[in-house]
A = this chain, B = another copy of it.
Amino acid sequence: MNTYGKTFRLSIFGESHGPAVGIVIDGLPPGFAPDMGEAAREMSRRAPGQSALSTPRAEADAVEVVSGLFEGKTTGAPLCAMIRSTNTQSEDYQKNLPRPGHVDYTAHIKYKGFSDYRGGGHFSGRLTAPLVFAGALAKQLMPNVKIKAQPILIGGKPPSEETILSAKADGDSVGGVIECAVDGLPAGLGEPFFGSVESCLSALLFSIPAVKAVEFDYGFKLADMRGSQSNKTPFGILGGITTGRPLKFTVAIKPTPSIAMEQDTVDLATNQPAKITVAGRHDPCIVPRAVPVVEAAAAIGLLDLWLTGGFSTAMVTTEIYA
């Protein structure tokens, strides 16, 4: 269930306040020398504690590779990468008071009270760190493909730090919209139906905590067009298969549910109404840190389709080996 991919296969593990989060990546071609410095740069785009806009929980997010690399090159065996947790404040979380708008209640029900409730446990946004690492490798394996995401709306307005800082000052939070453009894909990626490019990418994108909507190409705008107009738009995907034209998609990110204001909740032990004031260190806006995660999801999904769909590894990695 915590696994993605047919050919480029990922398995993620870890809890926010556990010893480590990590990933096993299977299906890497042998002989690939990942640029670990470049991967670290991708990781740092997502890492917390970098500015007043994000949580003050500072984590270096250093990646330890414990398998699958030998003399700097992939061996063909699974690559396991771990990211140790170094800066946790678990006392900020209260087992019986689920935070509104958060996974706390649903995870409690699903796992019969045994889930690790601290910081969202296994459902934490911290699990996107290993995804960004996998995405960094995927990008390097498709050197001619350019994947570039950016916020286009924050709090309903063109992105500005002011919107975020204003929400933070109020003990509140804001969400936003991220657009991602992908250039350089060949025509013919994707599989029929449940393996369509949209199906694969949306499954990955909706696995990013806080994503609540995904559009491809012109998305909802297409629904308002006539066919004569729609047929002239430059689709990146038709019938679930890439056209060879640039691909564009958009995701909606809901506001961080962990806010400083006092909120209503229910005490799970007594089943009585209760008040909660979320302490802890939280992002007033997760959108900037979600940008590299969206890119990683795109890279992972597209590389898997690439390798699955009869496009050989050699084609992907030609430049790497040259």
Stretch at the interface among A39-47, A48-56, A229-237: A229-237
| CB 8 Å contact bits of A67-82 with B (1 = contact, 0 = none) | 1101001111111101
Q: Mark A120-154, 1 if CB is under 8 A from B, else 0.
A: 11110001000000000000000000000000010
Interface residues in A, total, Cβ within 8 A: 130
Residues in B neighbouring A200, C-beta threshold 8 A: 203
User: What's the Cα separation between A195 and B31 when bound, in Å?
Assistant: 21
| A19 closest partner in B (C-beta) | B66
In whole angstroms, what is the CA distance A72 to B226 when docked? Answer: 38
Q: A176-B223, A226-B174 are in contact. Are A101 and B238 (CB under 8 A)?
A: yes
CB distance from A7 to the nearest CB of B (A): 8
Bound CA span A227–B166, Å: 13
- When C-beta atoms are compared, the residue in chain B nearest to A163 turns out to be B226
> Does A24 make an interface contact (CB < 8 A)?
yes
Interface residue from B68, B106, B225, B240 paired with A103 (Cβ < 8 Å) = B240
> From residue 196 to 222 of chain A, which have CB atoms closer than 8 A to chain B?
196, 198-200, 202-204, 206-207, 209, 211-220, 222
Given A13-B68, A174-B227, 7 more contacts at CB 8 Å? A1-B191, A15-B77, A30-B114, A77-B192, A103-B240, A120-B239, A220-B220
Residues of chain A touching chain B, judged by Cβ–Cβ distance below 8 Å, are 1-4, 6, 9, 11-15, 18-22, 24, 26-27, 29-31, 66-68, 70, 73-80, 82, 100-103, 105-107, 109-116, 120-123, 127, 153, 155-156, 167, 170, 172-177, 187-188, 190-196, 198-200, 202-204, 206-207, 209, 211-220, 222-233, 235, 237-244, 252-259, 261, 263, 308-310, 312-313
